[in-house]
Amino acid sequence: MSKTSDLLTIGSKTFQSRLLTGTGKYKNLKIMKESIEKSNCEIVTVAVRRVNNAETGHTGLIQSINWEKIWMLPNTAGCCNAEEAIRVAKLGREFAKLVGQEENNFVKLEVIPDQKYLLPDPFGTLEAAEKLIKEGFTVLPYINAEPLLAKRLEEIGCATVMPLGSPIGSAQGIRNKANIEIIIENSKIPVIVDAGIGVPSEACFAMELGADAVLINSAIALAKNPPLMASAMAKATEAGRNSVIAGRLPQSSFATASSPSKGLISEKSN
């Protein structure tokens, strides 16, 4: 992917913001709405099963967001196998149509049978992705930071890959740096670091590694002041992106003086 473009391109859509946010875990919908606005994000994830089942905190969620400005990214959270994920993805596409996004075929694909560590199933993810792509979906798969899987998902037509930085909601930061760097180096589609980011410096670090975007939910929603944290995450994401474009000073084993070496007092005295 180009590291100098101002726009994030996913499938046939382009976005200016490189921060994606979620809609879960907020204390109330008012705080969620304000946080989304402060984040300047253009894409938010919506857990289809939780909205469909009217779970606590999700009732009225769809009506709370201005879908003329925000692109819905339905996700298959809560799905344990490929069959469930495919069914929920189709329901998510209908949700998008209900809010006026008739052409929205996006789906954040999550297949997570493990309820302790919430690690995604690589086999179920690949199976579901293949079938959803054939049905015209723009698939954004959530995966462990596994370079070979990431490449395979790219080859079958996924629009992005979304490797986790560390387990969902853990706030452990980027624990898979080496593998994420390999994924970024070898990817021709956007790489979005998803899960584990706890503070703005970690969002910035993910972008400095060369990620095309980050997705952050818990770190914003569960902060003491979610709207303020959302604003901080937006600034950190932008700073990390600008750092990559600007080009960092190469690291050196030796010190290099920042002031001129000519005209020193020792030279004049000689």
Domain boundaries, the chain: 8-247
List beta partners, residue 162: 142
Separation of CA 103 from chain center:
22
**pTM, to two decimals:** 0.90
pLDDT at 202: 97
pLDDT at 136: 95
CB distance 210 to 243 below 8 Å: no
Q: Does residue 108 carry a catalytic annotation?
A: yes
If you count them, how many residues does the chain have?
270
Separation of CA 132 from chain center:
20
Among residues 3, 90, 97, 108, the one annotated as catalytic is 108
**Ranges under pLDDT 50 in the chain:** none
Does domain 8-247 fall into CATH 3.20.20.70?
Answer: yes
What are the pLDDT digits (tens) for 38-47?
A: 999 999 999 9
pLDDT at 15: 96
pLDDT at 157: 97
Interatomic CA distance for residues 27 and 155, integer angstroms: 40
Q: How many helices (H) and strands (E) does the chain have?
A: 11, 10
CB distance 131 to 139 below 8 Å: no
pLDDT at 49: 72
